Structure 1
């Protein structure tokens, strides 16, 4: 770690500021240890007054993961650019969801195609796996919907073991539905995002659609998803 002009601190000084021995901090700079806690790395970032990008670099270099959010973000407070992009999407259904698949915002077409998405407390996983409506709208429900969503839920729960909302969602789904319990016990498939997933949708007439998942750089805790009809070229690629 190279100090910037005007910010020069000795290893002994940084060690005192972060509450560790000089040898422990020296091991960090020398790259000799890989078991530093997130709390320690955050103290180092504060002591050295690292920027957000520098803190990210520190975490990725030392432990290969992003720094934790120091305080939970309110999903209702959307960056203007993200909200504008959603509102201006008038060709296809689109929505924003958080890490536990709570629906944060939708555009007009999403509300028209999937009215459940504007109901209070709308949650994609809960609707897709537990709602009778989903089993009617999503044709071939087990193959095109349930297996994929349960695989996504498995990845999210394992990636965020401290997230109580995700743990509760897993319990709710498995406690409520025998088919979901059967698929969960039988399959070991894992899926991080449903990006590029093709599924048949009823909506008054059968249509095959494809979902696209974007992660807004301003809010990496959100997913921006839009749904497009499957065109002939897409069908061939699939």
Structure 2
């Protein structure tokens, strides 16, 4: 019962945040003025534009209607002007009750995935788990993203670096991203999608709770309910502590044979200053790996 209530709360919260960002004039309705306690489009207006009764929409937003058809959801999405990621998120939340809950398979790094990572050579690359843990990275990715963290921490399940934690709780990572606020929002938007994909997952719930407790920025962004796959951001601006400003292409790919796992690869445009900085970073990572205190790490 508590699981269903939590999922209903997610759906209602999402719909309310999307209503709040619309004004009547945005959807062709007159603005009669006056001050309202709650900003945004009224439930009754949204229901009328979507072609459903006000009572039905209210029950949907309150989590009391678990049989909404895709046609109704699409009509609501159209009125709310949802993008494709938000539409998928709405469907997932609305239909979660009807689907049999299953626990995702345990995360594991297959040897073939490790070989693929190694085969990428000098391009900074890493494997992310469904809870944003770094399951593996090469030396270049470690030097780029978290050189202050032990390289072999990724090989120890209880100590693996977690990208979401680093973004919000680690001062080095906050300085690393030139536009930290965009990176922070993108991270929350991606975590929101994971939370809908794996509802009631204890590890993900624990991560969200920890970040809510320790990061006001995360709490504020989480309340706004952004939704976006992090793969849509193709470049990132970095301020590396050793090499300065770098503009890198960021490709993120889902591993189809490994549920929830993704690979991230960073590259620089050929002939650019960032390409030279990336070459220096790779040289630095290789030189660091040869030092006696690091030779025991993989």
Q: What TM-score do the two structures reach when normalised by structure 2?
A: 0.50
Alpha-carbon distance in structure 1 between the residues aligned to 2:256 and 2:165:
26
Task: Give the root-mean-square deviation of aligned CA atoms.
Answer: 3.0
C-alpha deviation, 1:71, in angstroms: 7.3
1:157 matched to 2:188: no
3-state secondary structure, aligned to 2:184: helix
Alpha-carbon distance in structure 2 between the residues aligned to 1:138 and 1:128:
9
Residues 156 and 192 of structure 1 are in contact (CA less than 8 Å); yes or no, is this contact kept in structure 2?
Answer: no
3-state secondary structure, aligned to 2:230: coil
1:72 matched to 2:111: no
Unaligned runs of 5+ in 2: 1-66, 68-94, 154-158, 273-298
Alpha-carbon distance in structure 2 between the residues aligned to 1:165 and 1:139:
30
Alpha-carbon distance in structure 1 between the residues aligned to 2:191 and 2:128:
14
CA deviation map 1:111-135 (0-9, x unaligned): 2212237333211111112111111
Residues 200 and 206 of structure 1 are in contact (CA less than 8 Å); yes or no, is this contact kept in structure 2?
Answer: yes
1:167 corresponds in structure 2 to 205
1:229 matched to 2:268: yes
1:190 counterpart (204, 219, 227): 227
Alpha-carbon distance in structure 1 between the residues aligned to 2:255 and 2:196:
22
Q: Which has the higher helix share?
A: 2
1:55-134 correspondence to structure 2 within 5 Å: 72-76=105-109, 78=110, 80-114=111-145, 115=147, 116=149, 118=151, 119=153, 120-134=159-173
CA deviation map 1:5-56 (0-9, x unaligned): xxxxxxxxxxxxxxxxxxxxxxxxxxxxxx9xxxxxxxxxxxxxxxxxxxxx
Number of aligned residue pairs: give it.
Answer: 168
Residues 130 and 261 of structure 2 are in contact (CA less than 8 Å); yes or no, is this contact kept in structure 1?
Answer: yes
1:146 matched to 2:184: yes
1:218 counterpart (257, 268, 281): 257
Residues 105 and 259 of structure 2 are in contact (CA less than 8 Å); yes or no, is this contact kept in structure 1?
Answer: no
2:236 corresponds in structure 1 to 199
3-state secondary structure, aligned to 2:123: coil
C-alpha deviation, 1:182, in angstroms: 2.1
1:48 corresponds in structure 2 to none
Q: What TM-score do the two structures reach when normalised by structure 1?
A: 0.61
Classify 1:96/1:141 alpha carbon distance in 2 versus 1 (closer, same or farther; 3 Å). same
